[in-house]
Structure 1
Amino acid sequence: MQQIKQQHDKVIVSIFVNPIQFGPLEDLVSYPLGLKREILAGQKRGQFTMLPNSGRTLRSVFCSYVDVNGRTEALCGKRRPGHFKAVCTIITKLFDITQLDRAYLRQKDPQQLAAIKQMVNDLNF
């Protein structure tokens, strides 16, 4: 984050636990957040923190999703159907909301990174 702030005048950090990426056997309620700590750390670095509201960001009913076929069916995607579709959908929504010039994402796992890179390339972000 320090390096990103040095390279850019404005930095927006989004903290969003995406409810649609959790499967039926995964516990969304017990997901660790530490929001207060993250927000305070961001303020010290002079960045904006965006906390999207899941009801507003992900309306209760919508029909469009972003799915990256060919990158998400194996490995983790095999055990978690719909997970990467949910991840790519919310990343697309956040890109649209922020109208960013550059994105830096915490790399959680190689498959997720590959799916997001493919999506960014395919959709000309």
Structure 2
Amino acid sequence: MKILTTIEELQEVRKEISSSVGFIPTMGALHDGHISLIKKARAENDIVIVSIFVNPTQFLPGEDLDKYPRRDEADKKICQMCKVDYLFMPKITTMYEKEEVLIKAPNRSYVLEGETRPGHFDGVLQVVLKLFNLVKPTNAYFGKKDAQQLSLIIQMVKNLFLDINIIACDIVRESDGLAMSSRNVYLTPEQRSEALKISKSLRKAGELVGKKQLNVETIKATMKEVMSGLDIEYIAVVNRNFEELTQVELSNTIILVVARFGNTRLLDNLWL
């Protein structure tokens, strides 16, 4: 595995690659969820490139940019064990100049995650587009846990005519059902135990749909009962375009949950 830190190094490497490239953009603090993306990319491509970059433009004032977990040495070892070919680890000054051409996310980026974090998805799309232009991947791999982000990246690729396949990958969970997240390290033992109510509520929602209960308000009410005692930021039932539904549409529905545990926000969802 070769570690690259500059634009010039990455561009030089990319010129020499004529076969398929699988790309996994990350913010580091790699866990089994990331590893599953890397393994899938390794199985489906000749060359695998991973980036680690904690992107400042997607953090709002007062968010956890400075506290975001950074484990560079451990991440390097994980990438090496997963047979990554190239690891791109740029500095902020490498990726951004003082004055930038900006990317504007569409209006639907201001619901759900974007409602409480206005401008967050502008920053996400900005850095992903930069990375896509540098890496020029054949396939790029993203987890379904960040469902709204995934949907907007798919739209960006379509709207800007990028020749990239976006591969959506299922959520990877701990053995007890908690969705893998770099922010799980912030949880106290008590909070972590309580956080299991999130995945339990989604399993219950899935059971209801399996029994042909498709009414959204009924499903939400049941989920709230399961998550009793939690600080629920939102429960949303939307279609793939993130439009609210009153009835579940099979093969076109995502149930999303965000709950807070102190200063930590946990996301989870169920695709139906």
TM over 0.5: yes
Distance 1:21 1:103 in 2: 19
Could you say which residue in structure 2 is the equivalent of 1:89? 126
Residue in 1 that maps onto 2:168 = none
Structure 1 residues not aligned, in runs of 5+? none
**Aligned partner of residue 72 in structure 1, secondary structure:** helix
The equivalent of 1:52 in structure 2 is: 90
More strand by share: 2
> What is the letter of the counterpart of residue 88 of structure 2?
M
* Offset from partner CA, 1:61-82 (integer Å, 9 cap, x none): 22x1222213201111011111
Q: In the alignment, which residue of structure 1 is the partner of 2:153? A: 116
Q: Give the 3-state SS of the residue equivalent to 1:119 in structure 2.
A: helix
Residue number in structure 2 paired with 1:61? 99
Give the drift of 1:88.
0.1
- Give the AA of the match of 1:15: I
Residue number in structure 2 paired with 1:74: 111
Structural mapping, 1:17-28, within 5 Å: 17-28=54-65
Give percent identity, aligned residues only: 35
Distance 2:70 2:144 in 1: 17
- The corresponding residue for 1:11 is 48
Number of matched residues?
124
User: CA 1:115–1:25 in structure 2 vs 1: closer, same or farther (change >3 Å)?
Assistant: same
After superposition, the Cα gap between the structure-2 partners of 1:107 and 1:35, relative to the gap in structure 1 and judged at 3 Å, is farther
Choose between structure 1 and 2 for higher RCO, CA contacts under 8 A separated by at least 6 residues.
1
TM-score with structure 2 setting the length: 0.44
Question: Aligned equivalents of 2:91 and 2:143: distance in 1?
Answer: 20
Contact residue 22 and residue 83 of structure 1 kept, 8 A = yes
Alpha-carbon RMSD across the aligned residues, in angstroms, is: 1.4
Aligned-pair CA distance for 1:108: 4.3
Question: 2:143–2:150: 8 Å Cα contact kept in structure 1?
Answer: no
Q: Which runs of 4+ in 1 moved over 3 A?
A: none
- Give the superposition deviation at 1:29: 0.9
Corresponding residue of 2:259: none
Q: Which runs of 5+ in 2 are unaligned?
A: 1-37, 163-272
Give the Cα–Cα distance (whole angstroms) in 1 for the partners of residues 128 and 90 of structure 2: 12
Separation in 1 of the partners of 2:139 and 2:118? 29
